[in-house]
Amino acid sequence: MTLKLLMEVSPQELLESLAELQNHVLGYVKSTSLKCAVDLGIPAAIHKRGGTATLADIAADAKVHPAKVADLRRMMALLSASGIFTTTAAAGAGDDGGATDDTAAVQYGLTTTGRFLVGWRNLSPVAPFFVNSLIVSSFFDLPAWLTSEPAPAGAVSLFEQAHGCSRQEMAGKDAGFGGVLRDAMTADSELFLEVIIVDKGRIFRGVSSIVDVGAGNGAGTRVVAKAFPRIKCTVLDLPQSVGQAAAAGDDNLSFVAGDMFESIPPADAVLLKVGTHP
Ligand SMILES: C[S@@+](CC[C@H](N)C(=O)[O-])C[C@H]1O[C@@H](n2cnc3c(N)ncnc32)[C@H](O)[C@@H]1O
C-alpha cells in the first residue's frame, strides 16, 4: 500500500503529508507550550510591560535560565504561529548590520486570544486544568473506552474509566487537581456570565429569582447576583461541591446542597451551564 501510494503522489504532496502527520502527532507540544507560558507568567509579563516585550524582557521576567533563552525563542515562535502572541521587529532592529543582540530584535505582543489570558476575568486557569496530567492521560484510554460496553447504569466518562472515579471525586482526593479544577471552573463561569450579561442582559429583565443548577462554587452565580442585586440567586449543587462555598453567601446569594434529580428550589428561572468539560 505504501509503495503504491509513493508512486501515486508527487514529492511535494509526500512532504506536505509527512509534515501534516508530524503536526498531528506532535499536537500536544502546542497545548503544553501554552500551559508553560501561563505557568511562567509570560502573557502577564507582556501585559505588565505595556503590551509588548522583547525576548530578553520575557526571559528576565519568567526567570528562564540564560542557557535556555534559545529554547524560549522557539516556544515563543510556536505560540506566535499558533495565534497567542504577535511578533514585530523592534525599532532599530536590523539597522546595524546584524550586530543587535537578537534577544532584543523582536517585540512580542498579545493577540486577541492572548489577551484573554491576562487582566480582569482572565481565562489562564483553563490551561493548567485542560493540560493537567490526569486529564491528558485519560485520553490514552480512548481506544479502550470506545470499544468497551457502556456500564448498565449509563455511560462511564473517559476520566472515570481511566482513573476509577469522577473528576469531582478526584478533586476531593487530590488537592492539587481540586485546585486547578476549581480555578478553571471559576474563570470559565465568571467570564461566560459576564459575556451573557453584556450581550444578552435583557433576559434577566423581570426575573426576580434564579436557581443555578450544578453551579459548582457559584462563581458564575455571584456575577449575576452582583450585576442584579434585586434578583434572588440560589446555587444548587451536590453537598461535596457546595461545602465551603456555602459560607461565602451574600444578601441575594444563597447555597443549597442537594441533588437536582431529587428536587430543585423554586425560582422564576433555572440556569444550567456546563463548562470546563474535557
Ligand atoms: C462541570 S461542573 C459545571 C459547573 C458550572 N455550572 C460551570 O459551568 O462552570 C458540573 C457541576 O454539576 C454538579 N452536579 C453533578 N451532578 C449533580 C446533581 N445530581 N445535582 C446537582 N449538581 C450536580 C457537579 O458537582 C459540578 O459542580
The CATH number assigned to the domain holding 227 equals 3.40.50.150
Domain of residue 267: give its range.
201-272
Could you tell me if residue 176 is inside a domain? no
Which residues, other chains included, contact 23 with Cβ-Cβ below 8 Å and sequence gap of 6+?
Answer: none
Q: Is the CB of 185 under 6 A from ligand 1?
A: yes
Q: Which residues contact 62 (CB under 8 A, 6 or more apart)?
A: 40, 41, 42, 45, 72
HSE-up of residue 180 (Cα within 13 Å, Cβ side): 19
Residue-wise pLDDT tens digits, 223-269: 999 999 999 999 999 887 776 666 666 789 999 999 999 999 999 99
**Listed residues 77, 96, 115: the one ending a domain:** 115
24 is catalytic: no
User: Is the shortest distance between the CB of 241 and ligand 1 below 6 Å?
Assistant: yes
Instruction: Say which amino acid occupies 3.
Output: L
CA distances 228 to 65, 220, 232, Å, are: 49, 13, 9
Least confident range of 21-35, 70-84, 237-251 = 237-251
Cα separation, 203 vs 235, whole angstroms: 19
Pairing of strands 85-89, 106-110: antiparallel
End-of-domain residue from the set 81, 115, 149: 115
What is the pLDDT, as a whole number, of residue 29?
A: 97
Say which residue, 67 or 248, is predicted with more confidence. 67
Nearest CA-CA partner of 43 in 104, 126, 136, 105: 126
> Structurally, how many domains does the chain consist of?
2
pLDDT digits (tens, 9 = 90+) for 109-148: 999 999 999 999 999 999 999 999 999 999 999 999 999 9
Identify the domain boundary among 115, 135, 165: 115
Is residue 212 one of the residues assigned to a domain?
yes
Q: Do 131 and 31 touch, CB atoms closer than 8 A?
A: yes
CA–centroid distance, residue 172 to ligand 1 (Å): 14
